[in-house]
Amino acid sequence: MRNDVSYPSVMSRKSEILKHSVGIDYQEFELSPLAFDYERLMNCCGYSLSDVQKVQTDTGVGNTPLVELKNITELVRSISAPGKGGRIFIKDEKACPSGSFKDRRASLSVYHAARLGYKGVVAATSGNYGAAVASQAAKYGLKAIILQEVYDSRKVGQPEILEKTRACEAYGAEVWQMTVGPELFYIMLRILEETGFFSASLYIPTSVLGIETLGYELAQQVMEREGRFPDMVVVAHAGGGNVTGTARGLQKAGSHETVVVGASVDLRGLHMASDYDFNRKSFTTAHSGFGIPFLTWPDRTDVPRNVARGLRYLDQYVLVSQGEVFYVTELLAKLEGLERGPAGNTSLAAAIPLAQELDRDQILVVQETEYTAAGKLPSSQLTFAEENGIEVKRGDPRDNIPGKVIVIPQRVEQLQVENLDLDKIRQSYVKHAIEATGVRQPREEDILFMAEDSRSSVDFIRSVLQGIS
């Protein structure tokens, strides 16, 4: 008999649908309504780092070039204090099969789906991950269904997302295009239940384990070339998987002293689920609309427990403006001959002012790039912004107003980062953990979990709890 497909009925079956679609019984890892065994969940699929490397090598993923940006480094030194201006390297993930680091997370998840006997994979994404899943599914002969939020209520779609639709379809995926709104998760659950396919979620263990090779590779490449590990790695931050996987990979390489910096585009003031705001943002990922909420409460995802937990690994978190990212995208092309997509240059935009504070012999690695194409080019995105009533002008990037004004810097000296207070984010995390789980009197295991999950201390957690009791 056919299941009831009404919204309340489907949502009531959410846990069972997800259990079957990812092959994980999350209850096995629960310690309480709030706490769970993070490392045991991460290791539940049984893949070592060498296992992941073999899977990725077999499908042409990884082993991407580490490129020193000598011209940009010299530019940075020309505006830095004497003795300052660290060397900037970039990990060129455009060399992956579908053109971004998302191939790493897709490769292991799709391999895992094939190994478990699933006939297809489903992913909900408006970004590069859809193309990565479609590409990897083609390699294993699996069907791929990609769900995208593409349009606002006027049926106007962002050029960057439409570009990624074309990429997904080129790899043979079936793409479902939707308007922005809460129905995405409901539709995904229905498709998972009706097809019996694997949910290639961004937040399952195989997805994050796939990124560990990126951190491990860049650490090893710097060690081989320079005889030491990088001093700083700047990672574009959205849902947390990129930071989590990269940092874990650095640790597995022995690069324990490397400072891990997360960078997001500042889109504060825009609501990611707002029909009005949807087309007033030029970035679909690596922005504060994902970065801040996912740090303050990671378990707002399509699985019961999210293993992408950036707050566990970040040393620093910074914001840059839209205009600065577009400026740096042009800078990379014209100074280094590397035309790469704007979203992938978020971390480079942050790296330029950060490198000014480093000594000249220190090494900063920009953790990834992405491919670019017609719909992703700055010219396309800025034209679309103007068509939606956003002013685009040259000037001081501090005058940028998300959804209203994009200010392109006039000089490299104008680039800067805004440092966010991680202790305030940790405080918000604790409050969200209590509110979301309903645990009003946390036990010792809850306090220990929150301390580990926020990279703080038991004393810090207790002090925050006292303030909200």
Quote the CA–CA distance of 328 and 125 in Å, as a whole number: 26
For the ranges 65-69, 75-79, 182-186, the lowest mean pLDDT is seen at 182-186
pLDDT tens digits for 127-164? 899 999 999 999 999 999 999 999 988 999 989 999 99
Angle at 143 between CA 138 and CA 148, to 5 degrees: 100
Q: Would you place residue 123 in the very low, low, confident or very high pLDDT band (cuts 50, 70, 90)?
A: very high
Mean pLDDT, range 321-336, rounded to an integer: 97
Q: Would you place residue 284 in the very low, low, confident or very high pLDDT band (cuts 50, 70, 90)?
A: confident
Model confidence pTM above 0.85: yes
In 238-355 the beta strands, taken as DSSP E runs, fall at 259-265, 316-320
pLDDT of residue 126: 85
Token pair listed for 73: 């480094």
For residue 178, the cross-strand partners are 149
- Average pLDDT score over the chain: 95
Question: Where do runs of H (alpha helix) occur along 254-287?
Answer: 275-278
For the beta carbon of residue 445, count every other beta carbon within 10 angstroms. 13
Mean pLDDT, range 248-261, rounded to an integer: 98
CA distances from 312 to 4, 122, 330 (A): 40, 28, 33
Mean pLDDT, range 428-443, rounded to an integer: 95
Q: Are strands 198-199 and 66-68 parallel, antiparallel or unpaired?
A: unpaired
Helix %, strand %, coil % of the chain (to 5): 50, 15, 35
